[in-house]
Amino acid sequence: MAGFFIANLVGLSIVLIALQFFFDVNPFFSQKDTLFKRDFFVITKKVGIIGNTGFSPKEIDEIKHARFVKELGQFTSSQFSVFGGISQQGGQSFRTEMFFESVPDNFIDVKSKDWKFSPSDSSIPIIIPKNYLDLYNFGFAEARSMPKISEGLASLVGMDITLMGNNNTQQYRGSIAGFSNRINTILVPESFMTWANERYGNKKNANPARLILEVSNIADPQIATFFKSRGYEVEGENQAVGRMAFFMRLIVGIVAGVGVLICALSFTILILSIYLLLQKNMQKLQNLRLMGYSKSAVSRSYEILSVGINFVVLIGSIAIAAILRNYYVDTIKTVWSDFEQTSILRVSLIGIAIFAFLSVVNVVIIRRKIK
């Protein structure tokens, strides 16, 4: 009995503390930030020797119907030549070949009233990745002692855009509508891209090379396995967050599994102990039954013993889980300032459920042993 008590106390304590740790830390990976309520992935295919043929309609349909995908959008690339330049007094000072891409407007993290296009417009709104501006300010400008440019000042800079294709050449004025932290490409409105590809493009029905996904839960472990099994690559920091959440759940599962294994072994010890006690006193038990005592009356002392031990184990395990929790809470608060402790009630209810299950099984075994 003492061996069962110690083993079961250790096992159940491990199970409860592992579950409590998971409940405390899981919001860090799964809850939505109040300022950024949507999680996105940009995925591509690996580029091999034969190149990248893009996502086929069948692959897009499979991804779209994956359990964790809320919405899917396609990157549309410019199928024509784009040249951009910045003009200053005295002549054009900068000119380079560029490219454009577009995504559906609901995936863009920049809100601007200028984000629209009509074929009659002479200006094209453009969204630039925020890291492009950072590279200039903290890399190029810093090394050459040039002035840094703020987002507001950069938005005032106009660009000369030349589109060429299908024997058509047209000049436009480019205006920076904002800077994106989400999508690492030069974006133009989808309405402009559709119109320009029809007018200047030289390819038809090209498969998209990149997809952007809105996912329901960035910590869903199925995301990493889904992408890896199909050879897709994920851009951005969200991939790292998903991997951390996956490994956190894996580690907690392993620890809880060890606790369950110890509980199962201790339960086996309890059954053997009860069997030994019953076997040792079998002659007395048979005499009591022959004297007219009911089965419940004869088995009651053994039932009280097993249930009582289980109850003490339950109380001890909850207490140990609460004490050990205080040690890691302070550590979590140093790296997560918004950490809020979850109630230990949920773990306590799980412990009570385990206690009830073990107690019922013990009672059934004892009553079956006593004829």
Largest CA distance in the chain: 119
Q: What is the pLDDT of residue 32?
A: 45
Direct distance between the N- and C-terminal alpha carbons of the chain, in angstroms, rounded to an integer = 23
pLDDT for the residue numbered 315:
92
Distance CA 21, CA 252 (A): 8
**One pLDDT digit (tens) per residue for the chain, 371 residues:** 777 777 778 878 888 888 887 777 766 655 544 333 467 788 888 776 555 568 888 888 998 888 888 889 899 888 888 888 776 555 546 678 888 999 988 888 787 788 888 888 888 999 888 888 888 788 877 777 777 778 777 777 778 888 988 888 888 888 888 888 778 888 999 989 988 888 888 766 678 888 888 887 766 767 777 888 888 887 755 555 556 666 666 777 777 777 777 777 777 776 777 777 777 777 787 787 788 777 777 778 878 888 888 899 889 988 988 888 887 777 776 666 566 667 788 888 988 998 888 888 878 877 777 76
Burial of 228 (0-12, 13-18, 19+ CB in 10 A): exposed
Dihedral sign of CA atoms 344, 349, 354, 360 in order: positive
**What pLDDT, on a 0 to 100 scale, did the predictor assign at position 68?**
83
Taking the C-alpha atoms of residue 295 and residue 289, their distance in angstroms, rounded to an integer, is: 7
